[in-house]
Amino acid sequence: MNVRTLCLAILQHGDATGYEIKKMSVEGEYSYFVDASFGSIYPALARLEADGLVTVREETQPGKPARKIYSITDAGREALIGELTGQTDPDIFRSPFLLVAMNAELLPREHLVKAIDARLADLQREMELLGSIASSRSGGTEWIARYGMNCMTASHDFLTAYRDQLECLAVDADAQPGERAAG
């Protein structure tokens, strides 16, 4: 999937400004699908408009510049369905925490403990966000929120159950680099 498809998917559920699309794709329920930014969203919207897949109208605001409101067209809906029915790429999972874990043998134990605690807190926040999405939506959105909660719960449970194995790989504060902590 790409940013154009993400924009069409968001607009399928209602008209939006470029800023609203960016906010939903970075912080909201659409943040799980495609890595999008202002730098990629506005060119994608311009191309979608040029291709006749979205329309744009300006809405005046007192004392502010006019807002551009984007709407999906019938052709855009057909293009979205075409993208969604095509072959999907494999999911991509990236985790800065896993890079820390991969190099646990280089790190002081206290740093590793903080990293594990931070990851567990992040997973808990993510599960709460997904829970609120699942409870406020229905259909496919509810299903994917519950799927995400299941994935996050499994990660949280694994990290909780096996954190001691990772912590044992760390170095003691007074050890030389590469020497493991007493475990």
Give the pLDDT confidence score for residue 93 in this predicted structure: 82
Percent helix / strand / coil, the chain, rounded to 5 = 60, 10, 30
DSSP tally for the chain: helices H, then strands E? 7, 3
Cα separation of 103 and 178, whole Å?
10
Q: pLDDT, tens digit, for every residue of 160-175?
A: 999 999 999 998 766 6
Whether residue 123 contacts residue 159, with contact meaning beta carbons closer than 8 Å, is answered with yes
Position 88 scores a pLDDT of: 84
Q: Report pLDDT digits (tens) over 102-145.
A: 999 999 999 999 999 999 999 999 999 999 988 988 899 899 99
Domain ranges of the chain: 3-85, 96-167
What CATH code is assigned to 3-85? 1.10.10.10
Quote the pLDDT of residue 181. Answer: 55
Instruction: Say what the pTM is.
Output: 0.76
CA distances from 129 to 21, 121, 142 (A): 19, 12, 12
In the chain, the amino acid numbered 102 is: M
In tens, the pLDDT along 57-80 reads 999 989 988 999 999 999 999 999
Residue 177 has pLDDT above 60, yes or no: no
